[in-house]
Each structure stands twice: as structure tokens, then as C-alpha cells.
Amino acid sequence: MKKETKMTRAQTTAKSGMEEFLCAFDAFKEVNDQRLLEIEQKQCADVLTEEKLKRIDAALTEQKAALDRLARRDAQPIAGSHQDQVQMKTNPAWDRYMRSGDASHLVEQKALSAGIDADGGYVAPAETQAQIDRLLAEASPIRAIASVQQTRSGNLRKPVSLGGASSGWVSETASRPETDSPTLGMIEFPMAEIYAMPATTQTLLDDAVLDVDQWLAEEVRDVLATQETTAFVAGDGVSQPRGFLSYTNVAQDVHAWGQMGYIATGTDGAFDASNPMDAILDLIYAPASAYRPNARFVMNRRTVSAVRKFKDADGNYIWQPGAGAGQPSTLLGYPVTEVEDMPDIASNSFSIAFGDFRRGYLIVDRAGINVVRDPYSSKPYILFYTTKRVGGGVQDFNAIKLLRFAIS
């Protein structure tokens, strides 16, 4: 009975939060309509109207973030459920090492320095890694939309087709003429190390109620997710993954493999004042039609605030809130993923990306998460130096396109 009550309250909270969010969006549209009318009649909007719209817009952004957090919380297993009990199973030898430093039962270990095994710490069991990976996927917006592949090597090399293959129709008994072979290329995704160092006390570790795996996963989640997302967006590929904004960016009409194609807004550092939607529509049709069914927009919340004000020719707002808590908002029917590492709108900035990120961007995780238990460096605290190896980069340059806020 208690479980049912808890679930009902969570559902009620999500429902009421969504209702408040939709009411705020209605208020936003009303004030923005007033602003547009003032611009049409007086060539400029009233300062009070602009300030009111800004406050409502900020409230919308905060409410959307709160709804997303609520959806993630409600998606977590209820304490005592079967799923929760499965996840609570911890490797006994690993639990002993984490709590007391006793590594006598841990067989698999990896040294960072040759001949000094203890310096390398110990590879976390599969259950622990799975828990960390699950929380990272929830916290990292790029992981949620990109492809993720695991490897046991330090460098993933992937062959890709650059085109050129031919085909044809033949009858059942006709000969099959030889077709042209595709042009193949090789792209590499080297691994780079990312780390976090959560701290706790021995008193907390001695508490039998503490799930050490869950504690470690939650402690490293935000640190790793923040660093990863920055690299997936703009990383230079040196000791970190290569972000999709760090490649050579060229105008879409001269785009070639290995380069990121872009569409220009036609105005330096802004959308076109009279037809702001034209650039967005051009961006949608920049990828081939095969990439559009699963495509989405990626931008930060300040850019979302800008496009939230736009209307189509029929007077309908092109940005729409998600259908429910945890559902993404949409822009012209395509989902919007908010990524704070995307640049703000500025001169020559690439502030919006659009495309099928599942096909376009690949994240590579090397199997194994290494943990060093350090009770000496910061007494009375116990540090857990946690490292994992991650790579990433664009795997299909036709799948993702950028919007450049520039004349050309």
C-alpha cells in the first residue's frame, strides 16, 4: 500500500508540474504576442513588456529543468522493488575492498606503474561499471542521443564507406555484371583517460546500509558527465574525445567527407530580423532525407530562449513544450536537446546543430573502470581515485549539420 501511495504522489507531482509549465508557456505566448504587436505598431517593444517576457522565459527554463529532474527521479527503481534488489547486489570482495581496503580477495588488478601493482588500483566489477555507465547516460545529454560502443583496446579503428558503390536491377536468369567497389576510409577513436576523486569518511563506509556501488556511481556521475559533455561538443581530440564542433566547418554546398557542413543565417551574430525561420528550415533540409526521421536540434538554453519567440507563417509558435514530464520540447516537430556547452549566439558562432546524432557521433568506452582507494593523502578522509577511458568523434559527416550565425 505504501508503494502505491508513493507512486501516486510522484505521478501527481509530475502532472501538476506539467500543468504549471503549460500555463507559463501560455503566459509567455500572450506577452510575446503583445511584444510583436508593439514592434509592428511602434517599431520597438515597450521596456516593461521585454522585461516581463524575460522573466517568464527564465521561469519556463527553470520549470523545464525541474520537470526533467523529476522524470529522472521517478524513473529510478522504488526501494524494495525486485529491480532495486537486483541492483543492490554487490560483489563481496569488492565491497570489502571499498569499505576496509582489504584487497586479498580481488583477483583482477591493473598496475599504472610497472612492478607496482597497488598503484594501479583495481578494476571495478561489471555490476559497478554498469551502474556508473547507467547514471552517466542519464546525466550526459550527448550520451543520450549518440551511439555508444564498448571496446577492450586503447584505440578503435572503424572502416567507413565514402560512397562510390553501384548496384542495379537484373532478371532472375540474367548475368550479374560486376559493380563498382565502394571507396572506403578509416577513422580512429583513440582512448583518453578521465578521472574523478570522490571523498568520504570511514564512519560512512562502516555503515552497513550504505550501498558503496551506488555511492561511488553518484559521486563520480556529475564530474565525469560534465567533463565528457564538454569534450563531446568541443574537445580537440588531444588527450580527450574530439567534439563535433572541432572539425573543419565549411559551407554546406562545398561540404566534403571529413568536414562539417553548415548553413549561415545571413546575419552576423543573429538570426535574420525579417525571416528568422528561413535559416532553421534550411538547416533541417541540409542533411539527406534518410537522416531526418531520427534527427534533433542541439543548442543551449539561451539559444532555446531566442527561438522560443518565433512563429510560422500561420502565427503558430515553432517551439512547443514536451507532451509530458521528461519529454523533450520540439522545434518545428523535431526534438530539442539542451546542451549547455553549445556556444551562445555570437558573431560567427555555431550555436545550433541538427541531425541524426545516433548515426553521426560515436562515443567509445574502454571496458573497465579503475579505482584506487587512498586513505593516506587527505586524512581523515578516504579518497577513491576513479578513472575510465573514453573516446569519441564524428563517424558520419553527412548526418550532422551546423547553423552558423554569420553572413556566409
Please provide residue 213's backbone torsions phi and psi, each rounded to the nearest 5 degrees.
-65, -45
Task: Write the Ramachandran bin of 360: left for phi over 0, alpha for psi from -120 to 50, otherwise beta.
Answer: alpha
Please report where in the chains the cell 588488478 appears, as a residue. 109
pLDDT at 225: 92
Is residue 65 a contact partner of residue 131, using CB atoms and an 8 Å limit? no
133: closest CA among 144, 117, 118, 122?
144
CB-CB neighbours of 283 under 10 Å: 25
d(CA 397, CA 385): 36
Q: Give yes or no for a contact between 342 and 299, defined as CB atoms under 8 angstroms apart.
A: yes
Residue 289's contacts (CB-CB under 8 Å, 6 or more residues apart) are: none
**DSSP assignment of 61-107:** HHHHHHHHHHHHHHHSPPTTSHHHHHHT---HHHHHHHHH---TT--
Cβ density class 323-338: b for 16+ within 10 Å, e for less: eebbebbbbbebbbbb
CA 292 to CA 261: how far, in whole Å?
15
Average pLDDT, 10 consecutive residues per value, the chain (408 residues): 42 68 86 86 84 87 75 52 48 87 68 43 84 87 94 81 62 67 76 93 89 90 93 94 96 93 96 92 95 96 94 91 79 95 97 97 92 91 93 95 97
Which pLDDT value is given to residue 116? 38
Residue with cell 554569420: 406
Contact between 264 and 251 under an 8 Å Cβ cutoff? The reply is: yes
Q: How far is residue 364's CA from residue 189's CA, in Å, rounded to a whole number?
A: 7
Q: What is the pLDDT of residue 179?
A: 61
Joined grid coordinates for residue 136: 552517466
pLDDT of residue 79: 41
Domain residue limits, the chain: 2-75, 122-164+176-300+339-408
Q: Is the pTM of this model over 0.85?
A: no
Quote the cell numbers at residue 170. Answer: 537484373
Q: What's the DSSP call for residue 269?
A: T
Q: What pLDDT is stored for residue 176 in this prediction?
A: 66
Q: How far is residue 118 from each of residues 38, 199, 268, 320, measured CA to CA in Å?
A: 70, 19, 56, 54
Cβ-proximal residues to 362 (8 Å cutoff; 6+ apart), any chain: 146, 147, 148, 149, 158, 189, 392, 393, 394, 395
| Residue 48 grid coordinates | 516593461
CA dihedral over 35, 37, 39, 41, signed as positive or negative: negative
C-alpha distances in Å from residue 188, one per residue of 192, 211, 310: 13, 38, 40
Query: How far from the centroid of its chain's Cα atoms is residue 270's Cα?
Result: 25
Q: Does domain 122-164+176-300+339-408 have CATH number 3.40.50.720?
A: no
End-to-end CA distance of the chain: 63
